[in-house]
Amino acid sequence: MEYGICNLAVIPMRAEPNERSEQISQVLFGEAFEIIEWKEGWAQIITASDGYTGWINRLQFMMLGHLNYQHLLQNPPKLTYKAITQAWKIRDNSVLYLPAGSSLSFLNGTTCYFEKEKFEIIGQIGHNESIDLLARTFVNSPYLWGGRTHFGIDCSGFTQLVFKLKGIQLKRDASQQAEQGRAINGIADAMVGDLAFFENETGKITHVGMLLNREHIIHASGRAKIDLIDEKGIYSQEHSRYTHKLAFIKRFF
């Protein structure tokens, strides 16, 4: 078996092995994965953190040995928390701008050792913000299918990343996240950090957002924003209508 690690700030994961294929997710700095197939200049991978499968360009990651891969599975790395954290790539004296949620894998002091590469982390490591304050930092981030950063994010990427920053691992897609956690009775019993799931006309879960309280939800739809919510679903004051039908609410803490 072969393994790899993302040594760039962020790389796109695509549905098919070509640059024109849709982006289905992103791999952030320091995230490791198992390689299950090679096809020309592409690798099909399964991410270690959430078991998501897709294709990434061979030029956008570095190989990782089996023992180092196992080390990461047994020793979850520290994360970056700011929208941007600088990492100095010592070998060529360049700088990477790491998004929030990047994994500081093989961190020793302030230096990450990726096989033969070394990255010096510049700035604060760690945080003490509450989950609602972390979520609010994403307000006005543009919606991007498959996105997982402040500079482009989708609904489930948003909830997954915010929960990752609080040490809780969610699956990648809204329908997968809906199978996790424990159900609560409804809005009347809701707490900050609960996830609300929304369904389409056929009953399929297609959207997710995080409750800030029993009246407000933060979610990514067009952009990351705060809207009203009640037993029916999300009500947009901007558009003066309901935009998403509530299916159920789940708790993860």
* CATH number of the domain where residue 200 is located: 3.90.1720.10
Judgement on whether residues 116 and 9 belong to the same structural domain of the protein: yes
Domain boundary among 90, 122, 154: 122
Strand 23-28 and strand 53-57: pairing?
A: unpaired
Look at the chain and report how many structural domains it folds into. Answer: 2
- Domain identity same for 204 and 228: yes
Q: Report the residue count for the chain.
A: 253
Task: State which of 62, 96, 122 marks the end of a domain.
Answer: 122
Q: Which of 160, 240, 239, 233 is nearest to 201 (CA)?
A: 233
Domain boundary (122, 140, 156) is at 122
Residue listed under structure tokens 């993302």: 6
Q: Which domain holds residue 63?
A: 2-122
User: Could you count the other beta carbons within 10 Å of the beta carbon of residue 107?
Assistant: 17
Which helix (H) or strand (E) segment holds residue 160: the answer is: helix 155-165
Q: Rounded to 5 degrees, what are φ and ψ at 189?
A: -105, 5
Task: Check whether residue 183 and residue 115 sit in a common domain.
Answer: no
| Whether residues 164 and 117 fall in one domain | no
| Claim to verify: residue 190 and residue 210 sit in the same structural domain | yes
What is the full per-residue pLDDT of the chain (253 aa) written as tens digits?
Answer: 999 999 999 999 999 999 999 999 999 999 999 999 999 999 999 999 999 999 999 999 999 999 999 999 999 999 999 999 999 999 999 999 999 999 999 999 999 999 889 999 998 887 878 999 999 999 999 999 999 999 999 999 999 999 999 999 999 999 999 999 999 999 999 999 999 999 999 999 999 999 999 999 999 999 999 999 999 999 999 999 999 999 999 999 8
